Chain A
Amino acid sequence: MATQQVITEEIRRIETDAAARVQGGQSPEVHPRRDYPPYRSSALRHPTQNLVKVDPEEVERYSPAFGHWDVSPLESDLTIAHRGEPLGERITVTGRVVDGDGRPVRGQLIELWQANSAGRYVHKRDQHPAPLDPNFTGVGRVITGEDGSYRFRTIKPGPYPWKNHTNAWRPAHVHFSLFGSQFTQRLVTQMYFPGDPLFALDPIYQSIVDPAARARLIGTYDHDTSVPDVSLGYRWDIVLTGPRSTWLEPEHADG
């Protein structure tokens, strides 16, 4: 297995090259690279042919519909799924989901899953020998409000080791799954916490080679969201732009 130093050097080399391309006039890359050698398991799991450009068909301009009756309001509070209180730092994560024009993504499903405060997933394939918490599963769902807003109560997940290279640790993160108003806007991503010392070392986070793009995944500490004597608050807004056709006014949309 590679050392952290080898991985970090690969990360830096790629970032330097990407920065030079932006200097040379290319637009910064918005998404992570699927072909990103420091993230070792990407090697055989990225396409080598170019993606084929298509206009979305009618059905693809719609998204699956989820109702408030699909999701209980209790599912947005990950701290009350069991009889006792989970261990860890209680937090609120809140924000808005909007499209490229800032219009709210209303009534859509957000799913969230995460490790517990010790960095352990409930998942049966998680081999990390950190303790499970009998009072924490780490799964939540919510339907966005009329203004695209969402709010989860949970505990701050711990960082955890993984097998990408020797001494590899993931920065603390919460997995998010989002639907826009069109299926083409589908997004699965991860939210991070400010100031994590593991950012520079993590090939998954660094697979987003543009620093400004990476920073969009970091929640902001928000004192107004903190609840006195109870929990700290983080704000994280999400933008689902989708393909060009979602940006056009209806009268210009092609079909």
Chain B
Amino acid sequence: MGDRVQTPSQTVGPFFHFGLEYDGSAQVVPGHYPGAIRLHGTVFDGGQAPVPDALLEIWQTDAAGLVSRERGSLLRNEFAFTGFGRAATNLGGEYAFTTVRPGTGFVTVAVFARGLSHHLFTRAYFDDGTGGGASDSLLASLPPSRRSTLLAMPDGDRSFRFDVRLQGDGETVFLEYS
């Protein structure tokens, strides 16, 4: 076991946009990429109000389930799939990514916000396994009411909705890596 002690987290605060957003940060792939989908949703607080100053990051494999080691997550080009995206919520608490369905069946999501002292990890799954698709031990371990918070639901042509509820009714399952 390591002997260095973790540096503590602090909130991303309200003024991160000019420091962390960059051109194309929410486009993991361009919209015309084969198999491109929209992954979008709203971030809600414990009062069911949208959170207008949250930041979401996604990290995922490509459609074949391979982890990208491609550099260039900041300087996007049309051809390199890097697997990383970053999107701030708008005044309505909404975010949107353009990406592909990962071969592993899930996208890892990190949620940052003003008022949140330490980011939260979750996963957006594209398949709950009940249709014979890929299942997952995490999903299987959760009661159905909580499991549903991890499902990205189709809501249109090549579009999936994944809302994040930080607290209260329908609170999203957040993860602690062991």
Q: A residues near B, CB below 8 A?
A: 30-34, 36, 39, 41-49, 51-60, 62-67, 69-71, 98-102, 109, 111-113, 121-123, 125-126, 137-139, 141, 173, 175, 177, 183-184, 186-190, 204-205, 207-208, 213-214, 216-217, 238-247
Cβ B119 vs Cβ A188 within 8 A: yes
With A65-B71, A175-B16, A184-B121 already in contact, the answer to whether A239 and B5 are too (CB < 8 A) is: yes
Proximity string of chain B (1-32) to chain A, C-beta cutoff 8 Å, 1 when within and 0 when not: 11111111111111111111000000000000
Residues in B with CB closer than 8 Å to A41 are 114-115
Within 8 Å by CB of B10, from A184, A189, A243, lies A189
Report the stretch among B33-41, B154-162, B165-173 that lies at the interface: B165-173
Proximity string of chain B (132-157) to chain A, C-beta cutoff 8 Å, 1 when within and 0 when not: 00000010011000100000000000
Question: How big is the B interface, by class?
Answer: 35 or more
Cβ B71 vs Cβ A69 within 8 A: yes
4 extra A-B contacts, CB within 8 A, seeds A59-B83, A204-B10, A238-B7: A57-B106, A188-B11, A216-B5, A239-B6
Give the complex CA separation of A115 and B120 in angstroms.
Answer: 25
Give the complex CA separation of A51 and B168 in angstroms.
Answer: 14
Give the complex CA separation of A101 and B20 in angstroms.
Answer: 29
Cβ A247 vs Cβ B6 within 8 A: no
Cβ A46 vs Cβ B166 within 8 A: yes
Cβ A67 vs Cβ B46 within 8 A: no
Residues in B with CB closer than 8 Å to A208 are 8, 10
Give the complex CA separation of A79 and B64 in angstroms.
Answer: 44
Residues in B with CB closer than 8 Å to A246 are 2
With A64-B59, A100-B3, A139-B18 already in contact, the answer to whether A242 and B177 are too (CB < 8 A) is: yes
With A36-B117, A139-B18, A239-B4 already in contact, the answer to whether A44 and B167 are too (CB < 8 A) is: yes
Cβ B19 vs Cβ A139 within 8 A: yes
Cβ A58 vs Cβ B67 within 8 A: yes
Within 8 Å by CB of B71, from A66, A204, A245, lies A66
Give the complex CA separation of A66 and B19 in angstroms.
Answer: 17
Our count of residue pairs bridging A and B at CB distance below 8 angstroms stands at 243
Residues in A with CB closer than 8 Å to B83 are 59, 64
Give the complex CA separation of A175 and B121 in angstroms.
Answer: 20
Residues in B with CB closer than 8 Å to A101 are 2-4
Give the complex CA separation of A142 and B68 in angstroms.
Answer: 21
Q: Please tell me if B63 contacts chain A, counting CB pairs below 8 Å.
A: no
Give the complex CA separation of A47 and B165 in angstroms.
Answer: 8
Within 8 Å by CB of B72, from A67, A121, A123, A183, lies A67
Cβ A32 vs Cβ B10 within 8 A: yes
The interface centre, meaning the residue of B69, B121, B138 with most chain A CB atoms within 10 A of its CB, is: B121
Proximity string of chain B (99-120) to chain A, C-beta cutoff 8 Å, 1 when within and 0 when not: 0001010101010111111111
- Chain A residue, CB-CB nearest to B51: A45
Sample (18) of A-B pairs whose CB atoms are under 8 Å apart: A42-B115, A45-B45, A45-B46, A45-B115, A45-B116, A46-B46, A52-B138, A54-B175, A54-B176, A57-B106, A59-B61, A62-B67, A64-B84, A65-B69, A70-B75, A101-B2, A183-B108, A240-B7
Within 8 Å by CB of A177, from B19, B138, B141, B171, lies B19
Residues in B with CB closer than 8 Å to A137 are 18
Cβ A57 vs Cβ B104 within 8 A: yes
Cβ B71 vs Cβ A188 within 8 A: no
With A59-B67, A65-B71, A100-B1 already in contact, the answer to whether A45 and B167 are too (CB < 8 A) is: yes
